[in-house]
């Protein structure tokens, strides 16, 4: 019988979607790559609190996405021949979380000490916060392609869920917008997996079948 933890673990997908929406809502457009150090310091003095909260929520949402992918991998492994792709997707989710932690960590550092940071240093860290997107993009790319192929092979859910994941992989350079899209996808897929699990008949093991005498 499916355990309660396994049954409702897919709800980490909707939870990730809610958290990532909150992170996006709290974020403010940062100074551009051409902004000077003084302008960067002024911006983070005014928006440091919301930037802090947004960055923490981004990383929390990424952590929930890793947990969701682990749950989805278990479900895909039970459903069909897709364990290889599902395992690759879990690795992609881990890369995505690590890359996102670095990407949003630069912004977090700027928001932490804007008053004591030299303008030149603030300008350099701001450039990293805007451009250090490749690790996050690599994770989204691997995750999207792998989980899309896994869903198409296992046929656990409608085929469109797999195709959408593959399309999301192609948008990997979109930074926070791409991550938000992945979160929304995870929210929908998490609900579908939870509903499918709750309506599936309980499995009966061979040990539970008593021979007829």
**148-155 mean pLDDT:** 91
What is the number of structural domains in the chain? 1
Which tokens go with 90? Answer: 């879990």
Calculate the alpha carbon distances from 128 to 106, 121, 201 in Å.
7, 11, 51
- Quick check: 30 pLDDT over 60? yes
Statement: residue 65 has pLDDT above 70: yes
Give percent above pLDDT 90 in the chain: 55
In a domain, 154, yes or no: yes
* Domain span at 57: 8-195
Encoded tokens for 194: 């939870």
Distance set, CA 101 to CA 57, 157, 176, 193 (Å): 11, 30, 12, 27
pLDDT band at 122 (very low <50, low <70, confident <90, very high): confident
Checking if the pLDDT of 208 tops 60, the result is: no
Residue 24, CB-side half-sphere exposure with 13 Å CA sphere: 18
Q: Is residue 98, in this structure, part of any structural domain at all?
A: yes
Is 72 domain-assigned? yes
Cβ atoms of 44 and 116 closer than 8 Å: no
Residue 213 lies in a domain: no
14, pLDDT greater than 70 = yes
Q: What is the pTM of this model?
A: 0.85
The pLDDT of 11-32, averaged and rounded, is: 93
Indicate whether 210 belongs to any domain.
no
Residue 50 lies in a domain: yes
Domain assignment present for residue 2? The answer is no
* 22 lies in some domain: yes
């Amino acid at each position: 019988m499916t355990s309660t933890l396994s049954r409702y673990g897919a709800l980490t997908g909707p939870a990730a979607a809610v958290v990532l929406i909150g992170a996006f809502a709290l974020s403010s457009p940062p100074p551009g790559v051409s902004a000077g150090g003084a302008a960067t310091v002024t911006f983070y003095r005014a928006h440091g609190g919301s930037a802090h909260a947004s960055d923490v929520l981004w990383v929390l949402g990424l952590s929930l996405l890793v947990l969701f992918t682990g749950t989805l991998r278990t479900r895909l492994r039970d459903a069909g021949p897709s364990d290889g792709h599902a395992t690759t997707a879990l690795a992609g989710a881990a890369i995505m979380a690590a890359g996102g932690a670095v990407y949003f960590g630069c912004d977090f550092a700027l928001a932490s000490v804007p008053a004591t940071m030299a303008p030149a240093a603030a300008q350099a860290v701001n450039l990293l916060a805007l451009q250090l997107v490749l690790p996050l993009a690599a994770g989204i790319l691997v995750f999207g392609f792998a989980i899309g192929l896994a869903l198409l092979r296992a046929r656990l859910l409608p085929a469109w869920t797999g195709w959408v994941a593959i399309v999301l992989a192609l948008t990997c350079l979109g930074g926070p917008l791409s991550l938000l899209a992945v979160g929304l996808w995870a929210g929908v897929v998490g609900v579908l997996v939870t509903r499918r699990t709750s309506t599936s008949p309980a499995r009966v093991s061979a040990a539970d079948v008593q021979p007829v005498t």
